[in-house]
Amino acid sequence: MKSILTYIAGFIGVIFSGIFFTSCEKSFDEKTVQDRNIGDQSGVVQVYIATVGAARNYVYVDGIPQNGSALSAGSVFPSVGYGFVVPMGQRLFQIRDTLRTTTQLPITFDNVLEWGKNYTIFTFDTITAVKQRTVTTTITIPEDTSCRVRFAHFAFSTAAMPNVDVYSFKRMGNVFTNVSPTSVSSFIGFPSRLNDTLQVREAGTTNVLAQLNGFLGTDKRSYTLIYRGSHRVSTARFLSSFVNY
């Protein structure tokens, strides 16, 4: 009799344990569908919001939302990691503000993604005239301890903007020269572990437009430096950086 009672008590315990663990199971809002079989996928995609005045921006691929948190001017998605996987082939992208009363115009565009390639999408201009540029992000891992850096010029102005240089205080010279608006340079080798101050200057001059203090690259990583904001307003233009790999 005692053994029967013990068995029944144990059986009831298993049932309650199952109920407890089921009720405690955590869930999350997975905006990007996870796909661990990436054999037929493209590389990764990053999105950088350089649109002046942007807020509450969401990225959609073939109508599926990719980010769970809203993006604003100066945001990169994903903020952690090096990108999100998108199936190769022709894909329909849309970037828009989801607020019903927003004045930001949505942008919809196609990208043809190739297997094994990485891409960066930059949005720029203003919220009433949003534009985008998609570039291939070629990832090469240095054999030494250096890192890699490229430069993107996506500042906005209603008047013509000058080409710009990027000056390095540690290297005491320009590391990028004569970069035109909406251009993205190729990657160059750059010393890692070097706490540097970088300046965007009007090309061929010492006229400083924006400054980034404390740029410190990590061994073998790749970074994008981006000049963004309102070019004609000194307090509203910025030199920022984000990691690509």
CATH number at residue 90: 2.60.40
Q: How many other C-beta atoms are found inside a 10 Å radius of the C-beta of residue 136?
A: 13
Same domain flag for 227 and 144: yes
The pLDDT value recorded for residue 40 is 55
Q: Is 226 in a helix, a strand, or coil?
A: strand
Q: Which helix (H) or strand (E) holds 3?
A: helix 2-24
Residue 74 tokens read as 């100066």
Has residue 18 been placed in a domain?
no
Low-confidence ranges of the chain (pLDDT < 70): 1-41
- pTM reported for the whole predicted model: 0.84
Query: Are 122 and 153 spatial neighbours (Cβ–Cβ below 8 Å)?
Result: no
Same domain flag for 108 and 152: no
Has residue 13 been placed in a domain?
no
The pLDDT value recorded for residue 37 is 41
The pLDDT value recorded for residue 42 is 76
Query: Are 160 and 182 spatial neighbours (Cβ–Cβ below 8 Å)?
Result: no
The pLDDT value recorded for residue 58 is 98
- Closest C-alpha to 199, from 175, 182, 180: 175
Q: How far apart are CA 95 and CA 109, in angstroms?
A: 9
Q: Which helix (H) or strand (E) holds 6?
A: helix 2-24
Has residue 96 been placed in a domain?
yes
Same domain flag for 144 and 132: no
Residue 94 is part of which domain span? 31-137
Same domain flag for 128 and 162: no
Has residue 11 been placed in a domain?
no
Q: How many domains does the chain have?
A: 2
Has residue 45 been placed in a domain?
yes
Instruction: List, as one string, the DSSP characters of 109-168.
Output: EEEEEPBT--EEEEEESBTTS-EEEEEE------SSS-EEEEEEE--B-SS----EEEEE
